[in-house]
Amino acid sequence: MKPGKVYLVGAGPGDPELMTLKAKRLLSQADVILFDRLLSPETLSGLENKELIDVGKSASHHKLTQDEINALLVKKAKEGKMVVRLKGGDPYLFGRGGEEALILLAEEIPVEVVPGVTSAIAAPELAGIPVTHRGITSSLTIVTGHEDPGKDSPLDWSAIAKLGGTLVVLMGVSRLDKNVGALISEGKSPDTPAAIVEKGGWPEQRLITGTLGNIVQKAKGAKVEPPAILVVGEVVNLTEKLAQKGQKARNAQSAGKKLAILRLDAQAAESSRLARESGFDPVCAPAIALEKKPLPEDILSRVEASDCVVFTSANGVDIASNNPSLLRSLKSKKIISIGPKTKIALEKLGFSSSTPEEYSSAGLEKMLSGKEGRVIFLRSAQGNQYLAKDLRKSGMQVDDVPLYEVKASGDKRLDDLILKADEIDIFAFTSSTTARYLMERAKEMDQEGQLRRALESARVAVIGLPTAAELKRLGIRVDVMPEKFTFESMIQALRSTQ
């Protein structure tokens, strides 16, 4: 068999928007993705249909050894697969990308490297520290703070301490005191400005500033965790001006507020971008997942017999779009979409549709009620049952085809969120099922009491009325509901009502 190809791809420092266009395209085309734990969870949102392999490693705990990773890359490529080896930052900067490329080439497997935004420059930058600055520094040295024991060319800390300019130390959290100690004992002034940037570009990014003399103490006090980098040099002082400016650009009130997004994984990336644009720190923890239902055999004749086809979600449109004959049968029909997202999904397929004034089942009912004829719903199996009943009462013939079922996600991120629920400032519920499955999972984990307490002290936002009704049924107070039932409006409502 002809071997596939391996792409060694840099994912950037963690913010999915800092990935290159090429990286994004390759991820969407890959058969297999091998990634490591440096990546922020959002980076892989929407790729759940790929073979995702976590080969991640931390300093003390290896999931797969480098040899095992190499062997896996070779194996997958030899199966003819298109493999993306996704690495934090840039693949060739302390990323062992070069080693992997050499091994693959020795096996005659085609390899291509795709550069990424390196954390060595981006993490300080995002915290307001330019690694070079005219008049202050014109050189930058990047070193690893965690060398392989027994390596043949150990770092020459004495030479490094004598260099002027900016020093960036990667992988240095566990050996911070040793590295800083070496710099000072080799003659670097303890008054040299120093900073630690933890999780640069992640929602939980933190900056700790000080001097070489006190940074170890400060890092201990702040309980710094990897990934983090140490920056040493006069440029650190610029953060006072540059970081402030960056922060002002964010929404002062929402800055730093953790907002839990519980919707489908496929929607998480876009929602999290919207939340971040408004200054919130999104935490994606999908509570639900979709399971496609087989289409009834007579679906085409049922659509044919209807005067009007109603879609109540973009998910429904996506599923219908996989069936060319169903799509063709919609061409001659009047189509109604429940709201703007569904409308856009239909527009992408070339269909125009009308929407009710209010983006909800109630809005649909108002729009359709009293009209004659036959309507067919293509929607979730758990769609609002009153809608069909009420429309029938008003004299319409209603056909209801379930395209998919909403089920519990089984996602580990939801479990993590439940365990750390008290850290969340805002819970954003985008459907009644997100609320139901969140509570059910918490019950299964024996964490219901803790979650309820967290919900009581957090702010709770819902997208619309049915979700509000479900929360009421679950005994959870609702603080915010937007006028228009969309995620964007919910975020705006949260921003304006703090």
* Catalytic residue positions, numbered: 36, 57, 171
Q: Which is nearer to ligand SAH, 228 or 275 (CB)?
A: 228
For Cα atoms 313, 317, 319, give the angle at the middle one, nearest 5 degrees: 115
Q: Is residue 356 within the footprint of ligand SAH (CB under 6 A)?
A: no
Judged by CB under 6 A, the residue of 23, 47, 84, 123 near ligand SAH is 123
Q: Which is nearer to ligand SAH, 199 or 263 (CB)?
A: 199
Neighbour count for residue 295 (Cβ, 10 Å):
18
Give the residue at shortest CB distance from ligand SAH. Answer: 89
For Cα atoms 339, 347, 493, give the angle at the middle one, nearest 5 degrees: 30
Judged by CB under 6 A, the residue of 14, 282, 356, 466 near ligand SAH is 14
Task: Tell me the one-letter amino acid at 119.
Answer: S
From residue 156 to residue 195, the character string flagging contacts with ligand SAH as x (rule: CB under 6 A) and all else as - is --------------xx------------------------
Query: 202 in helix, strand or coil?
Result: coil
Judged by CB under 6 A, the residue of 87, 276, 341, 379 near ligand SAH is 87
Q: Which is nearer to ligand SAH, 197 or 215 (CB)?
A: 197
Region near ligand SAH per CB under 6 A, out of 86-94, 213-221, 241-249, 386-394: 86-94
Judged by CB under 6 A, the residue of 228, 269, 320, 460 near ligand SAH is 228
Q: Is residue 90 within the footprint of ligand SAH (CB under 6 A)?
A: yes
Judged by CB under 6 A, the residue of 3, 200, 356, 464 near ligand SAH is 200
How many residues touch ligand SAH (CB under 6 A)?
25
Q: Which is nearer to ligand SAH, 13 or 339 (CB)?
A: 13
Region near ligand SAH per CB under 6 A, out of 22-30, 114-122, 329-337, 455-463: 114-122
| CA distances from residue 182 to 145, 174, 335, 482 in whole angstroms, order as listed | 11, 14, 70, 56
Question: How near is the Cβ of 153 to ligand SAH at its closest, in Å?
Answer: 18
Judged by CB under 6 A, the residue of 95, 128, 279, 282 near ligand SAH is 95
- CA–CA dist 177, 219 (Å, integer): 10
Answer whether 386's CB lies under 8 Å from 380's CB.
no
Q: Is residue 227 within the footprint of ligand SAH (CB under 6 A)?
A: yes
Residue 375, both tokens: 């309507």
Residue 297, both tokens: 């055999």
Nearest alpha carbon to residue 491 among 227, 216, 281, 212: 281
Q: Is residue 16 within the footprint of ligand SAH (CB under 6 A)?
A: no
Question: How near is the Cβ of 219 to ligand SAH at its closest, in Å?
Answer: 13
Task: Tell me the one-letter amino acid at 475.
Answer: G
Answer whether 427's CB lies under 8 Å from 461's CB.
yes
Judged by CB under 6 A, the residue of 118, 329, 430, 434 near ligand SAH is 118
Identify the sign of the CA torsion 254, 258, 262, 267.
positive
Q: Is residue 124 within the footprint of ligand SAH (CB under 6 A)?
A: no
Q: Is residue 229 within the footprint of ligand SAH (CB under 6 A)?
A: yes
Query: 463 in helix, strand or coil?
Result: coil
Neighbour count for residue 191 (Cβ, 10 Å):
10
Q: Is residue 89 within the footprint of ligand SAH (CB under 6 A)?
A: yes
Q: Is residue 282 within the footprint of ligand SAH (CB under 6 A)?
A: no
Region near ligand SAH per CB under 6 A, out of 87-95, 266-274, 340-348, 357-365: 87-95
Q: Is residue 128 within the footprint of ligand SAH (CB under 6 A)?
A: no
Region near ligand SAH per CB under 6 A, out of 88-96, 175-183, 373-381, 409-417: 88-96
User: Do strands 193-198 and 5-10 pair parallel, antiparallel, or not at all (unpaired)?
Assistant: unpaired
Whose tokens are 């014109």? That residue is: 138
Strands (E), 233-296: 258-261, 281-284, 288-292
Burial class from Cβ neighbours inside 10 Å (0-12, 13-18, 19+) for residue 327 reads: middle
Largest CA distance in the chain: 88
Judged by CB under 6 A, the residue of 226, 246, 256, 340 near ligand SAH is 226
Region near ligand SAH per CB under 6 A, out of 84-92, 299-307, 423-431, 484-492: 84-92
Q: Which is nearer to ligand SAH, 224 or 346 (CB)?
A: 224
Nearest alpha carbon to residue 193 among 214, 170, 175: 214
Query: 474 in helix, strand or coil?
Result: helix
Nearest alpha carbon to residue 91 among 81, 101, 83: 101
User: Which value, to the nearest 10 degrees, does the dihedral of the CA atoms of residues 32, 405, 360, 321 take?
Assistant: 50
Whose tokens are 């990336």? That residue is: 269
Region near ligand SAH per CB under 6 A, out of 82-90, 107-115, 424-432, 448-456: 82-90
Q: Which residues bind ligand SAH (CB under 6 A)?
A: 13-14, 38, 87-90, 93-95, 118-120, 123, 170-171, 197, 199-202, 226-229
